[in-house]
């Protein structure tokens, strides 16, 4: 019979053998490294600094053609939007909203007219514009390593790939020596789209070098009429199904690619279609002929269009104008606070008179 000590030694040897086999299996089971240039995942903050954002503050549509759900709050609150958080104390939010009301009501008649709201919308839109300009200065420095006031496409490409997890020094060396970069198909597609946008932002004479102002147009097309046109072309290209460079209602409300799997998802899709139908029929299709042209979409997208600002002001008033006097009183704004601020205020009527 095997002794207890011999049994334990045998058991220990078996454990070590199995451990060695598992380690070998783990090594061979790992996926191959498809690119020698890849390193640790990129910091999202770095990528956000140099990648054109999909969401543009104060612009009615996202870059991908979806409606900007926060547009009303952005053009009513401006930079103060972040202060109105869901979990903020309602009493504090009421006070903030009352202060805003007094600023919009420039003639102090205790009600807001469409003209007063239009002036306010334009002012808040300008705030977003200035905020983008300030952020752009920081972002431009991040992609202008030699500080010469210009960024080449290759300099940007290096920084972009570094933000995606590629080794910056190796990428730079390969680009310098005109060597082939092993880039996955998805990243290459993004790069191709970015290069098209880069060409558009490069004002004459074209040299593929962007200065700070051109880089602002690259990141924020709403700051340039030419880039705004390019952005509209991209949106129409993505939504236009028959290739006529116009949008019908059916094209505009077509659901995104994907299958509705349950009733909750169906309800979300129904709301999505309802919102887009309303936007198309009431705001984008200016002559109500059932067709949206590039010109109509461009006018709709232009955040500095004063006519749009007036329409927006009238729409905001109509949402909360319970007494139908075509003005907004403080009580009405407080009652419909979720529309204006994204934050729902409770017991607004009980507190309004004692606080204002």
Residues 178-220 pLDDT 10s: 999 999 999 999 999 999 999 999 988 888 899 999 999 999 9
CA atoms of 47 and 52, how far apart (whole Å): 9
pLDDT score for 342: 85
> Are the beta carbons of 208 and 128 closer than 8 angstroms?
no
* Kind of pairing between the strands at 151-152 and 209-210: antiparallel
Domain assignment present for 235: yes
Domain assignment present for 120: yes
Our measurement of the distance from residue 176's CA atom to the centroid of its chain's CA atoms, rounded to an integer in Å, reads 33
Domain assignment present for 314: yes
Kindly give, in sequence order, each residue whose CB lies less than 8 Å from that of residue 84, ignoring residues fewer than 6 positions away.
73, 77, 93, 96, 341, 342, 343
18-25, Cβ contacts within 8 angstroms, sequence gap of 24 or more: none
- What residue ranges in the chain does DSSP mark as E strands? 151-152, 209-210, 247-248, 291-292
285: left (phi over 0), alpha (psi -120 to 50) or beta: beta
In the chain, the number of structural domains is: 1
pLDDT score for 84: 78
Which residue in this structure is represented by tokens 């309802």?
A: 274
Domain assignment present for 265: yes
pLDDT score for 254: 84
Domain assignment present for 302: yes
Cα–Cα nearest to 77, from 333, 332, 347: 333
Domain assignment present for 121: yes
| Burial environment of residue 99 by CB neighbours within 10 A (0 to 12, 13 to 18, 19 or more) | exposed
Domain assignment present for 139: yes
Low-confidence ranges of the chain (pLDDT < 50): 1-2, 4-12, 14-36, 39-45, 257-260, 263, 348-350, 352-356
CA distance readout (Å), 173 to 12, 37, 69, 157, 168: 51, 11, 43, 12, 9
Domain assignment present for 31: no
pLDDT score for 86: 58
pLDDT score for 329: 97
Q: Which domain holds residue 85?
A: 70-150+211-352
């Amino acid at each position: 019979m095997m002794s207890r000590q011999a049994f334990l030694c045998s058991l220990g040897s078996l454990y070590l053998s199995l451990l060695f086999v598992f380690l070998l299996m783990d090594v061979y089971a790992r996926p191959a490294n498809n690119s020698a240039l890849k390193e640790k995942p990129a910091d999202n903050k770095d990528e956000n600094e140099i990648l054109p954002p999909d969401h543009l503050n104060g612009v009615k549509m996202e870059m991908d053609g979806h409606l900007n759900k926060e547009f009303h709050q952005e053009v009513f609150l401006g930079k103060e939007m972040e202060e109105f958080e869901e979990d903020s104390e309602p009493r504090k939010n009421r006070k903030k909203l009352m202060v805003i009301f007094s600023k919009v009501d420039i003639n102090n008649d205790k009600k807001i007219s469409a003209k007063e709201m239009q002036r306010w919308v334009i002012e808040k839109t300008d705030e977003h514009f200035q905020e983008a300009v300030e952020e752009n200065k920081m972002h431009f420095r991040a992609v202008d390593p030699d500080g010469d006031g210009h960024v080449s496409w290759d300099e940007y490409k290096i920084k972009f790939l570094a933000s995606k997890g590629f080794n910056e020094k190796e990428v730079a060396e390969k680009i310098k020596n005109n060597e082939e970069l092993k880039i996955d198909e998805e990243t290459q597609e993004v790069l191709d789209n970015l290069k098209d946008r880069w060409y558009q932002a490069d004002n004459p004479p074209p040299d593929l070098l962007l200065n700070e102002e051109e880089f602002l147009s690259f990141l924020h097309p709403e700051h340039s009429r030419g880039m705004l046109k390019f952005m509209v072309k991209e949106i129409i290209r993505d939504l236009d199904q028959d290739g006529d460079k116009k949008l019908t209602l059916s094209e505009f409300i077509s659901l995104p690619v994907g299958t509705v799997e349950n009733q909750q998802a169906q309800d979300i899709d129904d709301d999505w279609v309802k919102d887009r139908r309303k936007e198309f029929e009431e705001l984008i299709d200016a002559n109500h002929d059932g067709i949206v042209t590039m010109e109509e979409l461009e006018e709709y997208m232009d955040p500095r269009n004063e006519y749009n600002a007036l329409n927006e002001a009238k729409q905001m008033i109509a949402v909360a104008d319970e007494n139908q006097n075509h003005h907004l009183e403080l009580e009405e704004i407080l009652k419909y606070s979720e529309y204006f601020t994204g934050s729902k205020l409770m017991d607004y009527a009980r507190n309004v008179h004692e606080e204002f």
